[in-house]
Amino acid sequence: MKDLLCLGIESTAHTFGAGIVSEDGKIYSDSRDVYIPVIGRGIHPTEAAQHHNIVAPRVILDAFRKADLKPGMIDIIAYSCGPGLGPCLRVGATIARALSTYLCKPLVPVNHAIAHIEIASLNTGAKDPLTVLVSGGHTAIVAYAAGRWRIYGETEDITLGNLLDMFAREVGLPLPGGPEVERLAEMGKIFIDLPYTVKGNDVAYSGLLSAALRKYRDGVDLTDLCFSLQEVAFAMIAEATERSLAHTEKKELLLSGGVAANKRLQGMLESIAREHNVKFYCVDKSLSGDSGVQIAWNGILAYRCGLRIDVEKSLVKSRWRLDQVDIPWRS
Amino acid sequence: MKLLSKGAEADLYIAEWYGRKVVIKRRISKVYRNPCLDLRLRASRTVREAENMHEAKKASVPTPIIYLVDKESTTLIMEYIDGLRVKEALGMLDNSQKEKLCEQIGMKVGMLHSTSLIHGDLTTSNMIVCGDKVFFIDFGLSFHSHSDEDKGVDLHLLKRALDSTHYKESRDCLKYILQGYREVSGESYTSKILKKMKEIEYRGRYFSGRT
């Protein structure tokens, strides 16, 4: 029997991605195209969806070409079912339905957040980690127990990715904001006092965003501000992580999601892991951001447990919390 | 001096201190944190914890006695409570004992709130069962507030701690806790806070109940 091959389609937000992964976890291809709004503006859902519509055929064909596979050789079609922006999700879902129908291959819905965690686990070899998922859509500290990923801490307002993006947007930096803020932060020297909000294992970033923007308008040096913003924002999630680690007593710590690419954040969490004698894992930069690969891998995990969906029922769920997803492949 | 546990923000030691069995709680410097931020957080939390732990007693909420506050070394010396964390205790109780314990927890939280004290980190790791009393510890994130929002967040955090750690029994536990809270705070006030709690939950990412 040959290994199952899965095509994963990702379109929750700014990235349209297609990736092919085999049952043994080998990544055959990873093709993406990212919608980038003009400087000073955020993601416009309709514009992003239009972008996805335009690039989709090319991205998918590219995924097959890179993998050196023909569409008929695929066994499973997985699509990002949510959570995310409705118009964007529907582009990926529509294409997945069409491919599934045309190729007569089973269709598997995937939760985008869980897919981030699972690809990070595959990539790093983490078995049962406390996972910090930080991206534009998520800021959550989760661990698996009895059939579900349980949320131990999360943001009570905007996400860490939101914070960096919205700050970058307001001060005229290009999106995604994370890498830009990180670049400028490396040049910052003076620490500026900014509000630090940790509530139990939860964080809240909107107050920090407002305060940082106020400082910017007051003429504070942008590099110092980026430096301080990172220091405070990351220390908050680091503390919440440390609290969750002490509470759950897990032996592994896994950093995943788009913001995982940030070196300063990695350093902070690694330091916590060392302090608590816990093994630290961080997803590779190539797999931290949104991709079809994560959807494909999760598609395989789900399919092997018998999960699939009829095309007629394959609606998208723009609100689909990761703690609402049954995880049969981990039990 | 014996290491009792390595908490998230402090090391806890058991020691003898002038003939008393005490816990020494030392907020240690975090190397990952910017030094200015680190000192600010450690110093303010050490003082706040001592103040509000004492304050809680005025609301008839059992807390360890504080013997010493050292702001310089961000250290507290406090009474050792010989008991079991609620996190462990819950699993050993039958239903009626569970109901009694949770109801008591709810009453104590209600009492804290009635004196406008917000604990800030209500988890089952931060409550110790000792005899027929429940002691509350870890007041480092506590603060004073009259706002329904802050009280709602306090209960929301407790609910989430139950959902994540005690998922099998969280629904029952929460019901009993709110029963206790209601007894102390009254029906109309409690439903106002519960409404706020729902609102806070819906503010979270991707809640499907949100409109």
Q: Which residues of A touch B200 (CB under 8 A)?
A: 156
Q: Which site among B4, B11, B32, B155 would you substitute to test the A interface, given the most A Cβ atoms closer than 10 Å to its Cβ?
A: B32
Closest CA to A32 of A178, A176, A177: A176
User: Which phi and psi (to 5°) does residue A219 adopt?
Assistant: 95, 15
Domain locations in chain B as residue ranges: 2-79, 84-203
* CATH code of the domain containing A253: 3.30.420.40
- Total tally of structural domains belonging to chain A: 2
Same domain, A152 and A246: yes
Q: What is the pLDDT of residue A179?
A: 96
Same domain, A108 and A152: no
Q: Where are the alpha helices (DSSP H) in chain B?
A: 35-58, 86-89, 95-114, 148-165, 170-185, 187-203
Q: What is the pLDDT of residue A134?
A: 97
Fold of B84-203: Transferase(Phosphotransferase); domain 1 (1.10.510)
Same domain, A292 and A312: yes
Average pLDDT, rounded, for chain B: 94
Given a cut of 60, whether residue B211 has pLDDT beyond it is no
pLDDT in tens, chain A (331 residues): 678 999 999 999 999 999 999 999 999 999 999 999 988 888 999 999 999 999 999 999 999 999 999 999 999 999 999 999 999 999 999 999 999 999 999 999 999 999 999 999 999 999 999 999 999 999 999 999 999 999 999 999 999 999 999 999 999 998 889 999 999 999 999 999 999 999 999 999 999 999 999 999 999 999 999 999 999 999 999 999 999 998 889 999 999 999 999 999 999 999 999 999 999 999 999 999 999 999 999 999 999 999 999 999 999 999 999 999 999 999 8
Level-2 CATH architecture, domain B2-79: 2-Layer Sandwich (3.30)
Of A150, A246, A272, the CB nearest to B7: A246
Q: What is the pLDDT of residue A222?
A: 98
CB contact (8 A) between residue A239 and residue B157: no
CB contact (8 A) between residue A321 and residue B206: yes
Residue A56: inside a domain: yes
Would an 8 Å CB–CB cutoff place B41 in contact with chain A? yes
> Domain of A313?
5-116+288-330
Compute the distance between CA of residue B68 and CA of residue B89 in angstroms, rounded to an integer.
Answer: 29
Same domain, A207 and A270: yes
Residue keyed to tokens 């980038």: A36
CB contact (8 A) between residue B36 and residue A191: yes
CA A65 to chain B, closest CA, distance in angstroms equals: 36
Beta carbons within 8 Å of B119's beta carbon, 6+ residues apart: B109, B112, B126, B136, B139, B141, B142, B154
Same domain, A163 and A138: yes
Same domain, A168 and A280: yes
Active site residues of B: 121
Same domain, A281 and A175: yes
Task: Provide the CA A63 distance to its chain's centre, in angstroms.
Answer: 20
Whether A262 contacts A224, CB under 8 Å: no
Q: Which site among B205, B208, B210 would you substitute to test the A interface, given the most A Cβ atoms closer than 10 Å to its Cβ?
A: B205
Residue A302: inside a domain: yes
Same domain, A140 and A236: yes
Closest CA to A151 of A160, A141, A159: A141
Compute the distance between CA of residue A331 and CA of residue A182 in angstroms, rounded to an integer.
Answer: 38
CA B63 to chain A, closest CA, distance in angstroms equals: 19
Residue A121: inside a domain: no
Compute the distance between CA of residue A174 and CA of residue A62 in angstroms, rounded to an integer.
Answer: 27
Residue of B nearest to A264 (CA): B32
Same domain, A137 and A257: yes
User: What number of C-beta contacts closer than 8 Å exist between A and B?
Assistant: 120
Of B33, B34, B157, the CB nearest to A202: B157
Residue of A nearest to B199 (CA): A156
Same domain, A278 and A292: no
| DSSP one-letter code for A309 | B
User: Which phi and psi (to 5°) does residue B210 adopt?
Assistant: -70, 145
Residue A38: inside a domain: yes
pLDDT (average), residues B49-66:
97
